[in-house]
Amino acid sequence: MAIEAQALQYPFIDPLEAEEFKRCKFSAYYWWVVLHELLGHGTGRMMVEREPGQYNFDINNPPTDPVTGEPIRSWYKPGQTWTGQFEDLSTTVDECRAELVGAYLMDDVELLELFGFTETSEIRAADCMLCQHLQPATTKN
């Protein structure tokens, strides 16, 4: 972030938005990272059968699959792990999930208000949302 702060321009951001971006980019990026780390990586529960017949959830009333709305039908069997099942993709998929959770939650006005970004604060929730959407346009790679 320190090196990026020395950048004189943002080649892929409209000059009319560049000043606004510079004004609130660090606050927006900081809270996106917080959401990425705490909720993207730090939440969720793996459904596991620890040993035959012993589950970390109620097998008679299993959790609902958020995609289908139906009870889950599969879970990790004894000895299976996330990295064991997904191997080389496990880290990539986990990072992708955390990125998406952070970005999705940065568009939640009520959540941003909890962090102090209100309609009357110096940096508003709308400013954070704009910066979040402009952030990918700040690199030349």
Residue 37 is a catalytic residue? yes
The Cα 34–Cα 12 span in angstroms is 25
The Cα 4–Cα 66 span in angstroms is 38
The Cα 13–Cα 127 span in angstroms is 15
13 three-state secondary structure: coil
Helices assigned H by DSSP within 36-89: 82-86
Beta carbons within 8 Å of 49's beta carbon, 6+ residues apart:
55, 75, 76, 77, 78
Closest CA to 75 of 97, 92, 55, 89: 55
Q: Which of 4, 37, 51, 95 is catalytic?
A: 37
Active centre residues (catalytic)? 37
